[in-house]
Amino acid sequence: MRYTDVCVESFACTLPPDVVTSADIETQLAPVYQRLGLPEGRLELMTGIRERRFYPRGTKPGSISAVTVRTALQKAGLEPSQIGALIHGSVCRDQMEPATAAGVHRAAGLPSDCLILDVSNACLGLLNGMLLIADQIELGRIKAGVVVGTETGRDLVEGTIARLLADSRITRKDIKREFASLTIGSGSAAIVLTHRKISRSQRRLLGGAVLTDTSHSDLCAGGDQAAAIGAAAPQMQTDSEALLHAGIALAERTWDRFQRTLEWSPASVTKCFTHQVGKAHRQLLLEKLGLSPAIDFPTVEYLGNTGAAALPTAAALGYQEGHVAPGDRIALLGIGSGLSSIMLALEEPAA
Which residues does 245 contact at the CB level (< 8 Å), separation at least 6?
none
Instruction: Say if strands 115-118 and 271-274 run parallel, antiparallel, or are unpaired.
Output: unpaired
CA distance 106 to 37: 52
CA distance 192 to 72: 7
Residue 120 burial by Cβ neighbours in a 10 Å radius (0-12, 13-18, 19+) = middle
How many Å is the Cα radius of gyration of the chain?
20
- Catalytic one among 7, 13, 123, 220? 123
In this structure, the dihedral spanned by the alpha carbons of residues 59, 63, 64 and 67, taken in order and rounded to 10 degrees, is -150
Q: Please indicate whether residue 44 is annotated as part of the active site.
A: no
Q: Please indicate whether residue 272 is annotated as part of the active site.
A: no
Give the active site residues.
97, 123
